[in-house]
Chains A and B, each alone.
Chain A
Amino acid sequence: MTEFTLWDILRNLLLATRWTIVLSLVSFVGGGLVGLLLLFLRISAHKAVRIFARCYIELFQGTPLLMQLFIAFFGLGLLGVDVPAWLAAGLALILWTAAFLAEIWRGCVEAIAKGQWEASASLGMGRLQQMRYVILPQAMKIAVPPTVGFSVQVVKGTALTSIIGFVELSKAGTVVTNATFQPFTVYGLVALIYFALCWPLSRSSQMLERKLNVAHRNH
């Protein structure tokens, strides 16, 4: 039987961490773009569009991410194409992230004083112009801390993609455990690597929030 050193285990886990990082980035950027679109729908002037966006958000926030992954994995398969795990994983995570980001950003947009909408409307701006030149620049400032905070959830969410067979950090943990029979060490290391990825994000979110609060108090 082969002996595995701690370095062997760690090296394999770190190699798999690359895929956790790539998937997190793809989900976050993709989710951000879809989320922005969803935000516009969510605060649209048309009631039907608003309701559609609300249902989308409710659906994705009210069901387990794991189920969404399963449905993406098996649902895409129904179209008759062979679905690789990374595609289902990326798609489900993007749609899931979008729902949460849209809701976070809606809160930020609604936190902007109503007078800003009225003032920009009185200057003859259309709705898109209002968003582009008046509302979003202000909302973006308060949106940064919760958005960075949510990125932690995205990184942790990628762990679930191991269940549909995408090989990232968690899956590598399972594979390495099966080879080494050292679950305590392996899962301990996996947890520490996740912690090393997530903690800086959590901390910077908290620090940004504190900075923003100080800036607001000086007004």
Chain B
Amino acid sequence: MNYQFEFNWLAQYYPEIVKGIGITLQLISIGAVLGIALGIACAWARALGPAWLKPVVATYVELIRNTPFLIQLFFIFFGLPSLGVQLGELQAANIAMVVNLGAYSCEIIRAGIQSTQKGQFEAGASLAMTPFETFRHVVLVPSLQRIWPALSSQVVIVMLGSSVVSQIAAEDLTFAANFIQSRTFRAFEAYMVSTLIYLVLAVLLRQILAVIGGFIFPRRAVR
């Protein structure tokens, strides 16, 4: 193999890479906040909600969890316009990530809610709380605390999965890598560099989520 590695292009193209990192971080920030919010709502509906809502949420969760993210993205970006819903590529990417994380986090959070001891619900009821108040004030936070590590991993997985949004021309980190390789023909190096950046982002994101977890859950877990 007499291939000469060359990284000179970095000097010229680093603004593209920085911009790409920015978009990737923006996508995962919005995706994580709204996705987890959706997940909490769906988990409530599946574990404690009205009977008619349960199969609806279950269908949503199963549909999302058993189809590739790429196809969900294509369906939202290319398919929905024929129903009259026109979306920009970043909007479509955001919606796809929220919908995707919503389904996965629903299942994770539901496991947290269902591992709550019955006494907690009874204690809430004995204080004359409505079921929803009990959920909101007694059950939710300790449930989230128990499953926070699993939820964090899922957020990292969705961040890594977001690399496919470059396929609908959302200008994330992968898009930057594609752009650079098309200009410099240094495909291997461009993808090497962006892969390493993704690795760093994944490690950082895991740390950040652990810190956030420490803020939201200052006390030890109660079962």
Contacts and interface: CB of A to CB of B under 8 A. Distances in A.
Interface of A: 59, 62-68, 70-71, 74-75, 77-80, 152, 156-157, 159-160, 162-163, 170, 173-174, 177, 182-184, 186-188, 190-191, 194-195, 198-199, 202
Given A182-B82, A183-B79, A195-B62, 10 more contacts: A62-B202, A67-B174, A70-B177, A71-B195, A77-B188, A79-B1, A162-B70, A188-B75, A195-B63, A198-B67
B82 A170 contact: no
A163 B167 CA distance: 8
Main secondary structure, interface of A, reads: helix
Contacts of B81: 183
A162 B73 CA distance: 14
Nearest to B201: A62
A57 B78 CA distance: 35
Nearest to B75: A187
Given A67-B174, A67-B195, A80 B66 contact: no
6 contacts: A64-B164, A156-B67, A173-B74, A191-B71, A191-B72, A199-B62
Contacts of A190: 71, 74
Contact of B188 (A64, A78, A198): A78
B13 interface: no
Most chain B Cβ neighbours within 10 Å, of A64, A162, A182:
A64
A27 B202 CA distance: 24
Nearest to B78: A183
Interface in B82-100: 82-83
B203 A195 contact: no
Contacts of A66: 163-164, 174
B50 interface: no
B192 A156 contact: no
B176 to A, nearest CB: 12
A170 B177 CA distance: 22
B52 interface: no
B147 interface: no
B78 A163 contact: no
A187 B78 contact: yes
A78 B3 contact: yes
Contacts of B187: 70, 74, 77
B180 to A, nearest CB: 12
Contacts of A63: 160, 195, 198-199, 202
A54 to B, nearest CB: 14
Contact of B203 (A62, A75, A79, A159): A62
A109 to B, nearest CB: 20
Interface in B31-89: 62-63, 65-72, 74-75, 78-83
